[in-house]
Amino acid sequence: MATVLKIENLHKSFKLGFLLKKKEILRGISLSVEQGEVFGYLGPNGAGKTTTIKCILGLIFPEKGNIEIFGHPYLSPKAKEKTGFLPENPYFYDHLTASEFLDYYSQLFLMKKEAKEEKIKSLLRLVDLEDSADLQLRKFSRGMLQRIGMAQALLNDPSLVFLDEPLGGLDPLGRKEIRDIITRLKDEGKTVFLSSHILQDIEMICNRVAIIVNGEIINQGALHDLISEKILFTEVILSGVNEKELKELGECLSGHGDRTLLKVFKEENVEKALQLAQSSKGKVHSLIPRTETLEDLFVGIVKQR
């Protein structure tokens, strides 16, 4: 597989305040993204995700480091021709209507008139804003702005798309809509670089992730390599069973009324717990096996520091 994006040893600091004190934001970021994957860039707020993306797109200039997009130096127009970008909390010219806005941006790609109209129509369909084509952006809801932002990122049919917290601040329905679009992009063979501080989002759609904390990448790799899929423990909720007997099978946690939450670590003990419930005419209310999640990994790593 071809490498689409390659970042080596990226450093960036901001000069802040009256005394222009230097604050290091990125401390040697290196990562690479392969063609066709959905790459998750994961980190807590303020870790430097947006800063990294802004460096890649030439909005800010790193002090040190090397960035290549499709083998081109990153600031070259050739690299930009093939990339798209949806910023965090996007805001656009609110006096334009959705189609005027896309028309304006398509002029920056020197698109031909007919191709342009065709493209705008199909993009509005893709992001489900056909009915709002003539609505001014000031009247758009958060979710609609995010979707029109997605449309402008795709105007040039990019092979690589940068999405900065694309699901941020959306309701469940809005999140699903954006997730579906990302899945579509993946199916079309595009490479997606997705930043987020929300683990579930990344877990659901990404093939590979890099975890950034405090301006450094602390872990990088395929999702199933980072997280073990073995069952850590099983949570069983029972009622009508003698607690003393249960204690031998695992850890008894709180109970509501006569219900007991049992944390079982050995697989054979799960069976025993079920048998116990049956023999004492008790009830099993739920049984959930817990595997390690990205969250566990993440919390573990962040705690270590």
Partner 1 sequence: MKIKAIAFNTFKEAIRDRILYLLLFFAAVCIISSRLLALLTVGDKVKIIKDVGLSSLSLFGALMAILMGTGLVFKEIDKKTIYTIISKPIHRYQFLLGKFFGLVLTLFIMLLLMSFIFLALVFFHTFTIEWEMLIAILFIFFELCLITSVALLFSCFSTPILSSIFSLAFYLIGHTAWGIETLIKKIPPGVGKTLAQFLYHFLPDLENFNFKTEIVQHLDIPSDVYLYSILYGIFYTLFVLIIAVLIFRKRDFI
Ligand X SMILES: Nc1ncnc2c1ncn2[C@@H]1O[C@H](COP(=O)(O)OP(=O)(O)O)[C@@H](O)[C@H]1O
Residues near ligand X (CB under 6 A) are 14, 16, 25, 43, 45-51
Q: Which residue has the tokens 């989002």?
A: 201
Please give the single-letter amino acid code of residue 42: L
> Is residue 166 within the footprint of partner 1 (CB under 8 A)?
no
Cβ closest to ligand X, residue 43 vs residue 250: 43
CA–CA separation, 1 and 231 (whole Å): 32
Sign of CA dihedral 131, 132, 135, 139: positive
Residues 9-28 that bind partner 1 (CB under 8 A): 14
In the complex, least distance from residue 181 CB atom to ligand X, rounded to whole angstroms:
21
Among 7, 29, 50, 67, binds Mg ion (CB under 5 A): 50
Cβ-proximal residue to Mg ion, closest one:
50
H helix intervals, 241-280: 243-247, 267-279
Cβ closest to ligand X, residue 51 vs residue 132: 51
User: Strand 231-239 to strand 83-86: parallel, antiparallel, or no bridges (unpaired)?
Assistant: unpaired
152 binds, among partner 1, ligand X, Mg ion, none (CB under 5 to 8 A by kind): partner 1
43 binds, among ligand X, Mg ion, partner 1, none (CB under 5 to 8 A by kind): ligand X
CA–CA separation, 41 and 196 (whole Å): 6
CA–CA separation, 67 and 60 (whole Å): 13
Contact string (CB under 5 A) for Mg ion, positions 88-127, x = contact: x---------------------------------------
CA–CA separation, 29 and 122 (whole Å): 37
Among 39, 41, 70, 105, binds partner 1 (CB under 8 A): 105
265 binds, among Mg ion, partner 1, ligand X, none (CB under 5 to 8 A by kind): none
Residue span binding Mg ion (CB under 5 A) among the ranges 47-55, 68-76, 77-85, 109-117: 47-55
Burial of 115 (0-12, 13-18, 19+ CB in 10 A): exposed
Tokens at residue 81, please? 């021709």
> Is residue 59 within the footprint of partner 1 (CB under 8 A)?
yes
In the complex, least distance from residue 161 CB atom to Mg ion, rounded to whole angstroms:
16
Cβ closest to partner 1, residue 18 vs residue 61: 61
CA nearest neighbour of 37 among 205, 157, 196: 205
29 neighbors 7 (Cβ within 8 angstroms): yes
301 binds, among ligand X, Mg ion, partner 1, none (CB under 5 to 8 A by kind): none
> Is residue 63 within the footprint of partner 1 (CB under 8 A)?
no
Among 40, 149, 166, 215, binds partner 1 (CB under 8 A): 149
Residues, the chain = 305
> Is residue 108 within the footprint of partner 1 (CB under 8 A)?
yes
In the complex, least distance from residue 86 CB atom to partner 1, rounded to whole angstroms:
8
CA–CA separation, 157 and 155 (whole Å): 6
Burial of 268 (0-12, 13-18, 19+ CB in 10 A): exposed
Residue 172 neighbours by CB distance under 10 Å = 7
Q: Which residue has the tokens 């005027």?
A: 100
Residues that bind partner 1 (CB under 8 A): 14, 54, 57-61, 77, 80-81, 83, 85, 87, 90-93, 95-96, 104-105, 107-110, 149, 152-153, 156
Residues that bind Mg ion (CB under 5 A): 49-50, 88
